[in-house]
Amino acid sequence: STTSALVDELNRVSAENKKLSEMLTLTCENYNVLRKQLM
């Protein structure tokens, strides 16, 4: 049960990481677009 709980938590955090990474990519893209606009 401890192992399965750990696996579940790992899956949850990994999914969260993926979501955060996507957001970060999107934010960076927007940021770079804005930066180019200013240049």
Partner 1 sequence: MDCSSSLDISLNLNTNAFDRSFPAKLPEEEVKVSTSAGVERKWLVKDKSASELREELNRVYSENKKIKEMLETVCEKYYALHHHLEKLQSRKSPGIDHIEQPTKKRKQDPEDFLGFPNGKTENSSSNQDHHHQQYEQKNQLLSCKRPVTDSFNKAKVSTVYFPADSSDTSLTVKDGYQWRKYGQKVTRDNPSPRAYFRCSFAPSCPVKKKVQRSAEDPSILVATYEGTHNHLGPNASEGDATSQGGSSTVTLDMVHHGGQRLATEKNERGMMQEFLVQQMASSLTNDSNFTAALAAAITGRLMEQSRT
Q: Which residues bind partner 1 (CB under 8 A)?
A: 2-4, 6-7, 9-11, 13-28, 30-32, 34-35, 37-39
To the nearest whole angstrom, how small is the minimum distance from the Cβ of residue 22 to partner 1? 7
Q: What CA–CA distance (Å, rounded) separates 6 from 29?
A: 34
R_g of the chain computed on alpha carbons: 17
To the nearest whole angstrom, how small is the minimum distance from the Cβ of residue 19 to partner 1? 7
To the nearest whole angstrom, how small is the minimum distance from the Cβ of residue 25 to partner 1? 5
- Tracing tokens 């955090």 back to the chain, one arrives at 13
Q: Which two tokens stand for residue 12?
A: 């949850």
